[in-house]
């Protein structure tokens, strides 16, 4: 077992004694402070243990300094980007960002399932809004490494009427376009009522076409990725991918959290908490989704695999299934920051 993983495992029981959302908030603030000083960035680099030499790849017209990035939902408001870069990630996806600030669902809303290496969340797109995200990202840009890619995951406010949904996505795109390298269109979170209805081919095409048209008017085009749910039936997935291929989207993110609770070891009352499940139980499903999608789309779309990565070998499995890039989230909670270096080494281009 890698030394960094052993060291993190020694302190993890202490961290897990505290409320999961409070530890999440504390971790972000610590990482924000670390990213603000040379000594802090050096310490973060040691903790992450990633060597980026020879790890860069070009995907969807963007050069990523490595295949390993941060999934959306961890740093919603772009408060710790310099810290994420210092840890050795190749890219980070902020958000989900909505036009207006919103508090999200009531607490508690983030739960650990240690027996499964998993989390359940029903955060509900809690974020400070597009204006704050743009301000934070603009400030970070001046000090980020030039080869660190930042994606912006965009969504709609919970109280937005169905007829105004596209307007919400366009508002975030317009506000963040000067600062984003790519956009991730979130139509798959289980925690915003009605959001997954946007995955139907008709609605999805209308949304992606509107974003592509608006993007052309906002300057250099930012690639658009579509983040899909893992809970689609086989026939539904084929129809959705055909719809995406008919637009100017450049890639897929597979996948969001799942509403499934199959074969969990956690106690029944904990496993039954409402929200999306993430972490180790998703790995097999993510691999299947990536493999099916790659078979269906060939090389016409890039694929980011997100879900279930807890080791370097997990990341290798998803790259072998057809993913171009991978994202970490829940695995960092259970394996610690050393997972960044472990996965970066494992999926370094040949």
pLDDT tens digit sequence for 10-25: 999 999 999 999 999 9
pLDDT band at 291 (very low <50, low <70, confident <90, very high): very high
- Mean pLDDT (whole number) for 255-283: 97
Which residue carries 């078979």 as its tokens?
295
Checking if the pLDDT of 78 tops 90, the result is: yes
Query: What's the sign of the alpha-carbon dihedral 71, 238, 98, 210?
Result: positive
Active site residues: 189
pLDDT band at 233 (very low <50, low <70, confident <90, very high): confident
Q: CA 250, 74, 120, 316: dihedral to nearest 10 degrees?
A: 60
Per-residue model confidence (pLDDT) at position 234: 77
Burial of residue 178, with CB atoms counted within 10 A of its CB: 0-12 exposed, 13-18 middle, 19 or more buried? middle
- Mean pLDDT (whole number) for 333-338: 98
Per-residue model confidence (pLDDT) at position 167: 98
pLDDT band at 182 (very low <50, low <70, confident <90, very high): very high
Query: What's the CA gap between 14 and 23, in Å, rounded?
Result: 11
Interhelix angle for 165-176 vs 130-141, to 10°? Answer: 20
Query: What's the CA gap between 80 and 76, in Å, rounded?
Result: 10
Fold classified for 3-346? TIM Barrel (3.20.20)
Per-residue model confidence (pLDDT) at position 1: 78
pLDDT band at 189 (very low <50, low <70, confident <90, very high): very high
pLDDT in tens, 32-66: 999 999 999 999 999 999 999 999 999 999 999 99
Quickly list DSSP for 236-286: HHHHHHHHHHTTT--EEEE---B---TT--S-HHHHT-SSEEEEGGGHHHH
Q: Chain centroid to CA 345: how far? A: 20
**Interacting residues of 143 by C-beta distance below 8 A, sequence separation 6+:** 82
Please, which residues bridge with residue 118 across strands?
A: 113, 279
pLDDT in tens, 242-256: 999 999 999 999 999
Q: How far apart are the first and last CA of the chain?
A: 24
Checking if the pLDDT of 164 tops 80, the result is: yes
């Amino acid at each position: 077992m890698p030394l960094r993983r052993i060291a993190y495992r020694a302190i993890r029981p202490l961290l897990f004694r505290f409320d999961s959302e409070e530890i999440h908030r504390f971790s972000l603030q610590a990482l924000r402070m670390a990213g603000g000083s040379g000594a802090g960035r050096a310490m973060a680099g040691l903790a992450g243990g990633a060597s980026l030499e020879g790890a860069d790849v070009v995907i969807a017209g963007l050069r990523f300094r490595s295949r390993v990035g941060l999934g959306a939902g961890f740093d919603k408001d772009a408060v710790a980007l310099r810290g994420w870069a210092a840890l050795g990630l190749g890219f980070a996806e902020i958000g989900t960002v909505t036009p207006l600030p919103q508090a999200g669902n009531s607490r508690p809303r983030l739960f650990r399932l240690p027996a499964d290496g998993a989390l359940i969340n029903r955060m509900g797109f809690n974020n400070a809004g597009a204006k704050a995200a743009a301000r934070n990202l603009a400030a970070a840009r001046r000090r980020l490494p030039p080869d660190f890619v930042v994606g912006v995951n965009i969504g709609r406010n919970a109280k937005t009427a169905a007829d105004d949904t596209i307007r919400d996505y366009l508002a975030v795109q317009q506000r963040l376009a000067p600062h984003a390298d790519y956009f991730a269109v979130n139509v798959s979170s289980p925690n915003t009522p009605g959001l997954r209805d946007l995955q139907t081919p008709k609605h999805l095409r209308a949304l992606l076409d509107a974003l592509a048209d608006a993007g052309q008017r906002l300057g250099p085009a930012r690639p658009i990725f579509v983040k899909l749910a893992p809970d689609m039936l086989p026939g539904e997935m084929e129809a959705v991918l055909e719809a995406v291929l008919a637009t100017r989207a450049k890639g897929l993110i597979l996948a969001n959290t799942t509403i499934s609770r199959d074969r969990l070891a956690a106690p029944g009352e904990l496993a039954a908490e409402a929200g999306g499940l993430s972490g180790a139980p998703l790995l097999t499903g993510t691999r299947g989704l990536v493999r099916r999608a790659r078979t269906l789309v060939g090389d016409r779309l890039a694929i980011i695999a997100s879900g279930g990565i807890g080791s370097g070998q997990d990341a290798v499995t998803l790259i072998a299934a057809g993913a171009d890039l991978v994202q970490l989230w829940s695995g960092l909670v259970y394996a610690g920051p050393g997972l960044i270096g472990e996965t970066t080494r494992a999926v370094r281009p040949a």
